[in-house]
Amino acid sequence: MCSWSLDMLSQPQESMELVYNKSKPVAVTGMAFPTGDVNNYVVGSEEGMVYTASRHGSKAGIGEMFEGHQGPVTGISCHNAVGPIDFSHLFVTSSFDWTVKLWTTKHNKPLYSFEDNADYVYDVMWSPVHPALFAAVDGMGRLDLWNLNNDTEVPTASVTIEGASALNRVRWASGGREVAVGDSEGRVWIYDVGELAVPHTEDWTRFARTLVEIRANRGDGEEEGAVELAA
């Protein structure tokens, strides 16, 4: 992992080998920092594992390992909408295993697996303004918008691009109203998300309740109370 300064692009300011348990090199495929944090981050890997990591301090390097994906992690995004409830411990990942998974840094198993795709899911990104909204793109040329306050089984809105070229990257505009996607033909498509992207005051408490329901409905045999979802 290299840290760069825009004042000196000839070489990184610092670099670090990412190794799990002092012996296993981590082949990183993506990384993300929680909002306002420049030290702690999460990484996705080629073997499908997700890891927490730190740049500095006594625990610098790879920390915990998170298991859940059955293929390489293609995208990773930390929750970054700022509001009355802190959801910064949440993140989402996409993978070649056709799924998007929701995680918290407080637990090493997925909170939920979104399985509505029938191809590689190449990227995922939380809305920068709406607490319950994220976007994902897949190999069939489909852009999905998931509002978890509305539904966790199917996307709230979907569109397939003309020609159905694979979509391999998705990014929100900073205002959260538009989303840009890149395809395998080198094109960039920009969509106006409209009212779906606009958060309402009650969306924060609704999302906290949604997370509690997700925990209650988990059928993986985890002991009750293992994770506190709404910080």
Write out 82-129 in H/E/C secondary structure: CCCCCCCCEEEEEECCCCEEEEECCCCCCCEEECCCCCCEEEEEECCC
Which residues, in sequence order, are bridge partners of residue 121?
138
Per-residue pLDDT, 57: 85
Taking residues 146-150, report their average pLDDT. 97
CATH number of the structural domain spanning residue 112: 2.130.10.10
Among 37, 50, 142, which Cα is nearest to 95's?
Answer: 50
- Residue 224 covered by a domain: no
- Residue 105 covered by a domain: yes
Per-residue pLDDT, 225: 40
- Residue 117 covered by a domain: yes
**Under 8 Å between Cβ of 183 and 160:** no
Average pLDDT, the chain: 91
Biggest CA pair distance of the chain: 51
What is the total count of domains within the chain? 1
Q: Is the pLDDT of residue 222 over 70?
A: no
- Residue 127 covered by a domain: yes
Taking residues 174-195, report their average pLDDT. 95
- Residue 38 covered by a domain: yes
Cβ burial of 67 (10 Å; 0-12, 13-18, 19+) is: exposed
Six-digit token string for 184: 């395998």
Q: Is the pLDDT of residue 221 over 80?
A: no
Provide the pLDDT confidence category of residue 215 given band limits of 50, 70 and 90: confident
Provide the pLDDT confidence category of residue 210 given band limits of 50, 70 and 90: very high
Provide the pLDDT confidence category of residue 219 given band limits of 50, 70 and 90: low
- Residue 84 covered by a domain: yes
Per-residue pLDDT, 23: 84
Beta strands in the chain (DSSP E): 2-3, 14-15, 19-20, 24-25, 28-32, 40-45, 50-54, 61-66, 73-78, 90-95, 100-104, 112-114, 121-126, 133-138, 142-147, 157-160, 167-172, 178-183, 188-192
Q: Is the pLDDT of residue 99 over 60?
A: yes
- Residue 227 covered by a domain: no
Give CA separation, 156 vs 87, 107, 152, 153, in Å.
Answer: 21, 27, 9, 9
- Residue 16 covered by a domain: no
Q: Is the pLDDT of residue 226 over 50?
A: no
**Domain range enclosing 64:** 25-217
Q: In what order do the strands lie in the sheet with 100-104?
A: 73-78, 90-95, 100-104, 112-114
Provide the pLDDT confidence category of residue 141 given band limits of 50, 70 and 90: very high
